[in-house]
A and B are shown apart, each in its own frame.
Chain A
Amino acid sequence: MGPGLAVLLLFFVVPMYYLAHQSLETGSLEVGYTFKWAWHNYSDAISSNHQQLLRSLSYAAISTGIAVVVSYPLAYWIAFRGGRWKNLFLLLVIAPFFVTYLIRTLAWETILADGGPVVGVLRWLHVLGGDGRLLATSAAVIAGITYNFMPFMVLPLYASLEQIDVRLLDAAHDLYASRRLSFLRVTLPLSLPGLFAGTLLTFIPAAGDFINAQLLGTPKQYMIGNVIQSKFLELTDYPQAAALSFVLMAAILLVVLVYARILGTERLTG
Chain B
Amino acid sequence: MTASVEPMPLPAQRGTALSRALERVRHWVLPAYAGLALAYLFLPIAIVIAFSFNDPKGRFNYTWSGFTFKNWAHPFAVPGIGSALRISLEIALISSVVATALGALMALGMMRHRFRGRGLINTLVFIPMTTPEIVMGSSLLTLFFQKWPLIGYWHLGFGTILVAHITFNISYVVVTVRARLAGFDNHVEEAAHDLGADGWTTFWKVTLPLIAPGVLAAGLLAFALSVDDFVITYFNSGETTTFPLFVWGAARVATPPQINVIGTMIFVVAVGIALTNVIAQGRRARRIAAA
> CB within 8 A of B48: which of A95, A103, A248?
A103
Nearest CB on A from B150, distance (A): 14
B235 close to A232 (CB less than 8 A): yes
1/0 per residue, CB under 8 A from A, across B17-56: the answer is: 0000000000000110110011011111101100100000
Which one, A42-50, A125-133, A167-175, A257-265, is touching chain B? A167-175
A96-B42, A106-B251, A215-B251 known; A167 vs B2 contact (CB < 8 Å): yes
Contact, CB under 8 Å: B124 / A12:
yes
Contact of A249 with B131 in the complex, beta carbons under 8 Å: yes
Which residues in window 112-140 of B have CB below 8 A to A?
A: 121, 124-125, 127-128, 130-136, 138-140
Which residue among B121, B224, B271 has the maximum number of chain A CB atoms within 10 Å of its CB?
B271
Contact of A74 among B7, B33, B47, B235 (CB under 8 A): B33
Stretch of B74-82, B181-189, B275-283 contacting A (4+ beta carbons < 8 Å): B275-283
A26 in contact (CB, < 8 A): no
Number of B residues contacting the other chain (C-beta, 8 Å)? 82
Q: Decide: B143 and A208 in contact? CB cutoff 8 A.
A: no
CB of B140 within 8 A of CB of A15, answer yes
16 further A-B pairs in the complex, CB-CB below 8 A; given A95-B274, A101-B228: A4-B170, A8-B124, A19-B139, A74-B37, A74-B38, A84-B282, A95-B42, A98-B270, A100-B243, A101-B230, A115-B63, A167-B4, A170-B2, A211-B230, A232-B141, A252-B132
A-B contact pairs, 10 of them (CB 8 A): A13-B124, A91-B275, A92-B41, A93-B41, A102-B247, A104-B45, A106-B247, A147-B41, A225-B132, A245-B134
Q: Which 5 A-B pairs have the closest CB atoms?
A: A208-B132, A1-B109, A98-B270, A4-B102, A15-B139
Chain B positions near chain A (C-beta within 8 angstroms): 2, 4-5, 7, 10, 30-31, 33-34, 37-38, 40-45, 47-48, 51, 62-63, 102-103, 105-106, 108-110, 121, 124-125, 127-128, 130-136, 138-143, 145-146, 163-164, 166-167, 170-171, 174, 224, 227-228, 230-231, 234-235, 243-244, 247-248, 251, 255, 259-260, 263-264, 266-267, 270-271, 274-275, 278, 281-282
